[in-house]
Amino acid sequence: MEGIIVKGIGGLYYVKCEDKLYTCKARGKFRHNKLSPMIGDYVKISIDGEDGVIEEIYDRKSELIRPVVANVTQAFIVFAFRHPDLNRDLLSKFLLLCEYNNLKSIICFNKMDLENEEIDKVREELESAGYEVLYLEAKNNVGLEKLKDKIKGNISVFCGPSGVGKSTILNKFLGREFMETGEISNKLKRGKHTTRHSELVEFEDGLLVDTPGFSSLELDFIPKDELQYCFREFDKYRDGCKFNNCMHYKEPNCAVKEAVQDGKIHSSRYEFYIKTLEEIMSCRGNKK
């Protein structure tokens, strides 16, 4: 039988096959091959009574590390303007990480009932880079329909900092307290890292996975030559650079830099590119 792993706890895997859930162990051979099953994996199982054994793990189309989920097709990147305050650098990093993992990303600004005066500036930057942006008040059921329309046929991950309302959105969809949610700490104006485990849940002909929020991301594992390809808005201009290995950094006659000067590429996006590039280069340098 074939199915998908929706949950894993203490060496046991819950595999959904058509409409039934089987509790499965993994064959020892996976351990020897250093391959461990992860949620999102499509697997072949054999059944012995009520329980099953995972016999085979099919090739993964994608592999996320934080959280560990296979075969995710898109990411809802959830942020708020207040409670917690918008960290634009962190948002840019999430977008970059999704590009690097070949995930489609959809930005969701939640808590639109709170103050959000930077909205126009932020929207302009994100839309100029080709991103889709949704605005929500999950607590008051505002904007959720649009989000719902995007779920069918996908394995979608909800990611973003702690306290922005990821679990609240999921609970609203499911109509029950599927995930625990937490008040924002009044003193720190930060989330409390309420969500700690990951599980795939079915909704609207798709699968959703909530994730624990995190407040920083390291991106220095991205090879410096690959970084520019995570900025989709550079694509149109790259061919016009004098050097075909141009990194759009200190090189002369760079079409990307010209596009920035002409206002065709948003300057904050370019600045973020350079900042990240410099971080990657200095980090590699240190290791040598």
Ligand X SMILES: Nc1nc2c(ncn2[C@@H]2O[C@H](COP(=O)(O)OP(=O)(O)OP(=O)(O)O)[C@@H](O)[C@H]2O)c(=O)[nH]1
Work out the angle between the directed axes of helices 267-287 and 119-128 (0-180°, nearest 10). 70
Residue nearest to ligand X as judged by C-beta position: 213
Determine how many CB atoms are found less than 10 A away from the CB of residue 99: 18
The values of phi and psi at residue 188, to 5°, are -95, -15
- Out of Mg ion, ligand X, Zn ion, none, what residue 204 binds, judged by CB under 5 to 8 A for its kind, is none
Pick from 158, 195, 191, 188: which is nearest to 173 by CA?
158
How near is the Cβ of 213 to ligand X at its closest, in Å?
3
In the structure encoding, which two tokens stand for residue 230, read together? 């995570």
Q: Find the binder of Zn ion among 24, 98, 209, 256 (CB under 5 A).
A: 256
By three-state DSSP, how is residue 41 classified? coil
Residue 209: what are its φ and ψ, rounded to 5°? -135, 125
Q: Is 166 in the site for ligand X (CB under 6 A)?
A: yes
Count residues contacting Zn ion (CB under 5 A)? Answer: 5
Nearest in space to 46 (alpha carbons), one of 14, 24, 18:
24
Taking the complex as a whole, the smallest distance from the CB of residue 166 to Mg ion amounts, in Å, to: 5
Answer for which of 38, 45, 78, 246 binds Zn ion (CB under 5 A) is: 246
Q: Which of 8, 37, 163, 206 binds ligand X (CB under 6 A)?
A: 163
Which of Zn ion, ligand X, Mg ion, none interacts with 115 (beta carbon under 5 to 8 A by kind)?
none
Q: Choose, by CB under 6 A, the member of 20, 114, 226, 271 that binds ligand X.
A: 114
For the bound state, the minimum distance from the C-beta of residue 103 to ligand X, rounded and expressed in Å, comes to 19
Query: Binding residue for ligand X (CB under 6 A) from 213, 227, 257, 259?
Result: 213
Query: What is the 3-class SS of 185-252, one letter each residue?
Result: ECCCCECCCCCCCCCEEEECCEEEECCCCCCCCCCCCCCHHHHHHHCHHHHHHHCCCCCCCCCCCCCC
Measured from the CB atom, is 117 or 205 closer to ligand X?
117
165 binds ligand X (CB under 6 A): yes
CB atoms < 10 A from the CB of 161, how many? 24
Q: Does 193 bind ligand X (CB under 6 A)?
A: yes
* CA gap 14, 112 in Å, rounded: 37
Which 121-140 residues touch ligand X, going by CB under 6 A?
Answer: 137-139
Q: Which amino acid is at 124?
A: E
Quick one: tokens of 227?
Answer: 């970084």
Binding mask 185-224 for Mg ion (x = CB under 5 A): ---------xx-----------------------------
The type of residue at 23 is T
Tell me which residue has tokens 């090879």: 223
241 contact, one of Mg ion, Zn ion, ligand X, none, CB 5-8 Å limit per kind:
Zn ion
The footprint of ligand X (CB under 6 A) covers: 110-111, 113-114, 137-139, 162-168, 181-184, 191-195, 212-213
Binding site for Zn ion (CB under 5 A): 241, 246, 248, 254, 256
Q: What are the residues binding Mg ion (CB under 5 A)?
A: 166-167, 194-195
